[in-house]
Structure 1
Amino acid sequence: MPEETDGTLLPWDKAMLLLANPPPPKQASITRQHAGWYHIGPQPEMPIDLHDCEADLTEEGDPLLGHNLICKMMFVSGETGDVSPDTTSMIEGIVQQQVMEMLKRATDLAARRGVRTISTDDLIFLIRHDKAKVSRLRTFLSWKDVRKSAKDSDEKGGGGADAGGVDNFDLAANDPTLGTAGPSVGTRNSKNKKAKIGLPWDVSSFYSEVVPEREDEEDEEEEEMNAATLQRLKQADERTKGMNAEEYLHFSECRQASFTFRKGKRFREWAGFGVVTDSKPNDDIVDILGFLTYEIVTLLTEEALKVKAAEDALKRDSGGDEEKRGRKRRREPGLFDPPEEARTPVGPKHIQEAYRRLQKPDLKSRYMHHIPKGNWQRPLKLI
């Protein structure tokens, strides 16, 4: 007679039941993306901090640069199409990476000088090899000082015909076409003449006495700057020839797009002040960074347009669009042919290729690179 029990299952009874009725196996599944990583296997429990991280990544907020602001700058640089948010996000990431690298290197330069705060000379020293950009930046800072001194004199003197007031100047501090802001009319007061910004590594700074400059004298940097400026002015003139009043008004509004205008606090947080560097920036540092970030967007857009033009030419020559046209023989467009497809804007792949080209090292940087150096990684190049 079997022994009576109180109804509880013994361990061997549980084992027999599991063998008789095994549970169904868990099927592996590829879960959705979690903040940049993938998991293959059973669905895991996402930790709370990862939930918060993913919410921050996917939340549609109002970033500093924003899609519309970058689209305006790309429109001025030559991109007339409707750029996708993925393209502008990639550009914003590149610009932020460049700004943080600038601040890091400028902080290292300031530490070598024995100071904790970075100066304008530290930022200009990082781009000293690009003479045209340095000249545009110095001109930008010079006219900024002129506008400031003219505004101060206008407030003290009460304004007047000979006071050299601020009304005689173009107050557009960020002119994307020129890269600088200059006077709209001739200045009447010699005090408001554009002052030349001196740099510590210039040859003239090695001597106590400075040779007076002539008004008709131009150095090599100004000649390079004028050549680049004339080229941009020519492109802008060709684009605005067929515009009506509304289109030109939109073009003028896009030219006033700025990274730092009325965004000083957000720009400091976005750039990494307090994280990358402990230095507290002044207005000149923020203006220089705003000028350089606009230059980065301009270079990326111009190079991406070249990449896309080469890609379109290759497709057109090799017959890459034959599938859409029923594999008919290509011929010259006639009078009654339907209009061609609308031009597509640049995409992330064009921006990526443009960034790769801009990161190509100079000849002097490739000296003795044939010698093996192990796992050596090329440093980031400032564009």
Structure 2
Amino acid sequence: MSDLYPKPATASCDSKNEQIYYTSEIRQMMHGFGDCSEPLIESAKIIEDVVLQQMRTIVNKAYEGADRRGSHTVTAEDFIFLLRKDKVKLQRLIKYLELKDFKATMKKTIDTDPIESALESDNFDKYKVAKKSYHNFVSLIDVNGELLKSGSTVDYVKQNRSLRAEMMTRKMDETRYIEFSKARRVSFANSNRHKFSDWVCSDGDINISKQGYVVLGYLAYETVAQIVDLAFIVRQDQNKIHGDAIDRLRLSYFNPYTYKPYQHNKGVITKAITPAEINEALRRYWSPQLDISGPFHRSSMRRQHPKLLSC
């Protein structure tokens, strides 16, 4: 398996702490993204290994950017900069950060004592400043002025995940729905940032800001989601009935163009994602033949850094 998942070359965060695991959390995330209620441990371990290696690669890339601007601390902007070539993923991240800040602002306002009610507007002012800072930074790196334009941008990946979740919950009873809702709230850094930082950078040689860990945790979460998405596409290709577009909709991958709710009045029974499906999904995603220069590569050649799933 080591030859399938090449490790980053930079060694500042390369020594894995064997006492830290995210297998349990990743199994819950897999369920939240559409896997069965009891995902396979073997599948979760493969995803955990991939996420760890991808996050260390991202940290090293972000640190290179911070070093070029003369800083010894990796900030949220250094991670955001890595998404500048993918408009949809960048906008998805910005919306996530804005929503997270808004929820924190609302919580502070609700928890404010009556004596301090006059300061409630200060919380929203801080939220507006944070929101503006994200947009200002993106504007600085936006060469063509297209990154923040969302009018013509449709996030089909997000749509597909929402459709999959809707299909899964249609026939759930209360107990299963509560379990599914809890699984969708599981993340990497929100509950225990120190565990996440020790997992990604066990050597502690790279300093990452608090907000930087928020973005990094989001990218780790998106990596799990992307792997699950790709695994379902592999399953679709294995099981679909050729030439019948309607029957394809019964599977775990939905085409937003052809989805019609009235055609799906039954619950979805999902089989556990297998290690073979994950390995095939990653093989396709990292195949050198899919690159622009793919035809000029030997099939046996491995790139030093695998293509990032979340950036």
Query: TM-score, with normalisation over the residues of structure 1?
Result: 0.57
Shift of 1:103: 0.8
Matched residue type, 2:191 = R
Deviations 1:236-276 (A, max 9, x none): 2222111121111111111111111332111111101535x
Are the counterparts in 1 of residues 286 and 307 from structure 2 also a CA contact under 8 Å? yes
Whether 2:250 is the aligned partner of 1:250: answer no
Is the alpha carbon distance of 1:114 and 1:227 closer, same or farther for their aligned partners in structure 2, counting shifts above 3 Å? same
Aligned positions of 1:178-217 closer than 5 A = 195-196=131-132, 197-198=134-135, 200=137, 202=139
Shift of 1:99: 0.5
Matched residue type, 2:131 = A
Q: Which residue is equivalent to 1:102? A: 58
Q: Secondary structure at the match of 2:208?
A: coil
Is the alpha carbon distance of 1:357 and 1:146 closer, same or farther for their aligned partners in structure 2, counting shifts above 3 Å? same
Is the alpha carbon distance of 1:242 and 1:347 closer, same or farther for their aligned partners in structure 2, counting shifts above 3 Å? same
Q: Which residue is equivalent to 2:233? A: 306
Deviations 1:186-221 (A, max 9, x none): xxx788668342254636989xxxxxxxxxxx9544
Shift of 1:280: 2.3
Is the alpha carbon distance of 1:296 and 1:199 closer, same or farther for their aligned partners in structure 2, counting shifts above 3 Å? farther
Matched residue type, 1:137 = L
Are the counterparts in 2 of residues 124 and 134 from structure 1 also a CA contact under 8 Å? yes
Distance in 1 between residues matched to 2:140 and 2:238, nearest whole Å: 45
Distance in 2 between residues matched to 1:81 and 1:251, nearest whole Å: 8
Matched residue type, 2:61 = R
> 2:292 aligned to 344, 360, 366, which one?
366
Query: TM-score, with normalisation over the residues of structure 2?
Result: 0.69
Shift of 1:367: 4.4
**In proportion to residue count, which structure has more helix?**
2
Q: Which residue is equivalent to 1:283? A: 210
Distance in 2 between residues matched to 1:359 and 1:199, nearest whole Å: 34
Whether 2:196 is the aligned partner of 1:260: answer no
Is the alpha carbon distance of 1:195 and 1:87 closer, same or farther for their aligned partners in structure 2, counting shifts above 3 Å? same
Is the alpha carbon distance of 1:70 and 1:379 closer, same or farther for their aligned partners in structure 2, counting shifts above 3 Å? closer
Q: Which residue is equivalent to 1:381? A: 307
Deviations 1:301-334 (A, max 9, x none): 12112212323458xxxxxxxxxxxxxxxxxxxx
Shift of 1:379: 3.1
Shift of 1:343: 6.5
Is the alpha carbon distance of 1:272 and 1:370 closer, same or farther for their aligned partners in structure 2, counting shifts above 3 Å? same
Are the counterparts in 1 of residues 73 and 206 from structure 2 also a CA contact under 8 Å? yes
Q: Which residue is equivalent to 1:133? A: 89
Whether 2:220 is the aligned partner of 1:293: answer yes
RMSD between aligned alpha carbons? 3.7
* Structure with more relative contact order (C-alpha pairs < 8 Å, separation 6 or more): 2
Percent identical across equivalent pairs? Answer: 25
Whether 2:197 is the aligned partner of 1:272: answer no
Q: Structure 1 residues 226-235 or 345-354, which shifts more?
A: 226-235
Shift of 1:366: 2.1
Distance in 2 between residues matched to 1:304 and 1:205, nearest whole Å: 33
Are the counterparts in 1 of residues 84 and 142 from structure 2 also a CA contact under 8 Å? no
Is the alpha carbon distance of 1:202 and 1:86 closer, same or farther for their aligned partners in structure 2, counting shifts above 3 Å? same
Shift of 1:71: 1.7
Are the counterparts in 2 of residues 307 and 353 from structure 1 also a CA contact under 8 Å? yes
Are the counterparts in 2 of residues 128 and 134 from structure 1 also a CA contact under 8 Å? yes
Distance in 1 between residues matched to 2:224 and 2:99, nearest whole Å: 23
Distance in 2 between residues matched to 1:271 and 1:283, nearest whole Å: 14
Q: Which residue is equivalent to 1:66? A: 23
Shift of 1:156: 6.7
Is the alpha carbon distance of 1:91 and 1:204 closer, same or farther for their aligned partners in structure 2, counting shifts above 3 Å? closer
Q: Which residue is equivalent to 1:238? A: 167
Matched residue type, 2:112 = E
Deviations 1:41-72 (A, max 9, x none): xxxxxxxxxxxxxxx97xxx6x43123x2221
Are the counterparts in 2 of residues 87 and 348 from structure 1 also a CA contact under 8 Å? yes
Is the alpha carbon distance of 1:203 and 1:121 closer, same or farther for their aligned partners in structure 2, counting shifts above 3 Å? closer
Distance in 2 between residues matched to 1:123 and 1:133, nearest whole Å: 12
Q: Give the number of aligned pairs.
A: 260
Q: Which residue is equivalent to 1:90? A: 46
Shift of 1:349: 1.5
Where structure 2 has 5 or more consecutive residues not aligned to the other structure, the ranges are 3-16, 242-268
Where structure 1 has 5 or more consecutive residues not aligned to the other structure, the ranges are 1-35, 37-55, 167-188, 207-217, 315-341
Whether 2:115 is the aligned partner of 1:115: answer no
